[in-house]
Amino acid sequence: MRYVSTRGGAKPQSFTDILLEGLASDGGLYVPEEYPRISPDELENMRGMSYPELAFAILSRFADDIPPEDLRTLIDATYTKDTFGSDEIVPFKKLEENFYILGLSEGPTLAFKDIALQLLGRLFEYVLEKRGGTLNILGATSGDTGSAAEYAMRGRKGIRVFMLSPLGRMSDFQRKQMYTLQDENIFNIAVRGTFDDCQDIVKAINEDADFKERYKLGAVNSINWARIVAQTVYYVWGYLHATNTGNETVSFAVPTGNFGNILGGYIAVRMGVPIQHLILATNENNVLEEFFTTGKYRPRKGTEVATTSSPSMDISKASNFERYIFDLVERDATRMKELWGELKTKGAFDISGAPELTRLKRDVFLAGSSTHADRIATIRALHEKYNMLIDPHTADGVKVGQQLCEKDVPLVCLETAQPAKFSATIREAIGREPVIPESFAKLGGLPERFETFDANAELIQKYIAKKV
């Protein structure tokens, strides 16, 4: 399989070629030249598979330049009871007939990003070992993504992580989760400033091409293709658990920020899995709801992004969205350049008068949004009715999913984080704090490892140079 850029100007590459890369050389994102198909018979054969077996069946079609036995070993080492808490890896929980929760947040940092990042850590290590290179991952986090990246890369050979976080601005839980890691390849950098300052520093360092090259800087951002396709696996898993035969359809409700999670579902659709609807849920930051209901795409400026009680969905520009639009314009690179040109000059584009709108309306997506009051009400309702405690992001998905789902089509709501990570919102909803998992209660006793710096890119460059 070869991967091409959404802007049509980069040469096709293999899976392992694009694994460590971010953007393609023409500024676009890589997508497969063609989506592999799963036939109805193949889908039936997947019904009895364990999660690692299913992951191999799906991922081997995309990572076809890794020898199958190696890929199998990497997958088997990733999806274990030890790391994900049960042999199911992704538990499928029934609330009632046709209403299910897919448990994606059983990994080390209690959020769905672990599912892809845990595999990515092993894939990076494997490819670096083969090619004899090293990689220094530089990132900025407001809390959650950074810890998932650190837990994925801890102890991996040839990889170091330099993660910037805003000093004193994370929750106790987030801070402890990151700073208590004792691995020598993890460097926590606390910046006297905001998350935006951290991001600006990462950007400034990345713009120093000599430094970047010399110190082999890379990233684990949400546009990484391997992350997306690792997420396709659990849509197939969810489909198979919600049905008895391949003649049935299922809808998924997906709390959405960067459009990475739901893109995994879209790929399952393109592979032939009978999905009725992918129900996209936003919070108050509803840029994508607006696009999918009107055809107008108007990303907000950073300062216009609301801070909400589902913070991992507070996103101004969904970084993976371009991959979907590429298909929507039938992979017409000229049209892509036109739309992205408009985006650059006018800050928006509008397909409401174009034939693409008809295709958009016929496609698999439905979209809606949710407010803080909706989240609280949804958390409370599921707790009262089913004795099930969900986190605020999952609540966004459940709220919009219940609003837009069709009767008689099973609704599978993706659980993207554990409630323990968001205790203030949980207290507001049910009057008490969530139970903190035992593994996290223990973190309280561990020493915290971090270095503090002023918000100054040069100081941090010096620090990296000293540690590499």
Ligand X SMILES: *Cc1c(COP(=O)(O)O)cnc(C)c1O
Residues that bind ligand X (CB under 6 A): 111, 113, 144, 222, 255-261, 312-313, 393, 416-417
Residue 146 beta carbon to ligand X: minimum distance, rounded to whole angstroms: 11
Residue 338 beta carbon to ligand X: minimum distance, rounded to whole angstroms: 26
| Marked catalytic residue, from 81, 93, 94, 113 | 113
Residues 6+ apart with CB under 8 A from 160: 134, 135, 136, 137, 185, 186, 187, 467, 468
Name the helix (H) or strand (E) containing 462. helix 457-467
Name the helix (H) or strand (E) containing 75. helix 68-78
Cβ distance to ligand X smaller for residue 121 or 260: 260
Residue 399 beta carbon to ligand X: minimum distance, rounded to whole angstroms: 14
Cβ distance to ligand X smaller for residue 218 or 255: 255
Residue 144 beta carbon to ligand X: minimum distance, rounded to whole angstroms: 5
Cβ distance to ligand X smaller for residue 246 or 260: 260
Cβ distance to ligand X smaller for residue 128 or 280: 280
Paired sense of beta strands 92-96 and 99-103, if any: antiparallel
Residue 370 beta carbon to ligand X: minimum distance, rounded to whole angstroms: 12
Residue 288 beta carbon to ligand X: minimum distance, rounded to whole angstroms: 9
Cβ distance to ligand X smaller for residue 276 or 310: 310
Annotated active-site residue 346? The verdict is: no
How many other CB atoms sit within 10 Å of the CB of residue 37? Answer: 10
Residue 10 beta carbon to ligand X: minimum distance, rounded to whole angstroms: 24
Name the helix (H) or strand (E) containing 451. strand 451-454
Phi, psi of 217 (to 5 degrees): -80, 140
Sheet bearing 451-454, strands edge to edge: 217-218, 135-140, 159-166, 186-192, 451-454
Among candidate residues 36, 34, 3, 33, the one with its CA nearest the CA of residue 17 = 3
Sheet bearing 411-415, strands edge to edge: 92-96, 99-103, 411-415, 250-255, 275-282, 365-369
Among candidate residues 238, 281, 235, 236, the one with its CA nearest the CA of residue 99 = 238
Tell me how many degrees the CA angle 290-293-296 measures, rounded to the nearest 5.
50
Q: Give me the DSSP letters along 237-303.
A: HHHHHH-SSTT--EEEEEE-SSSHHHHHHHHHHHHT--EEEEEEEE-S--HHHHHHHHSEE-PPPGG
Q: Give me the DSSP letters along 114-153.
A: HHHHHHHHHHHHHHHHHHT--EEEEEE-SSHHHHHHHHHH
Cβ distance to ligand X smaller for residue 121 or 255: 255
Cβ distance to ligand X smaller for residue 30 or 453: 30
Among candidate residues 300, 432, 268, 247, the one with its CA nearest the CA of residue 364 = 268
Catalytic residues: 113
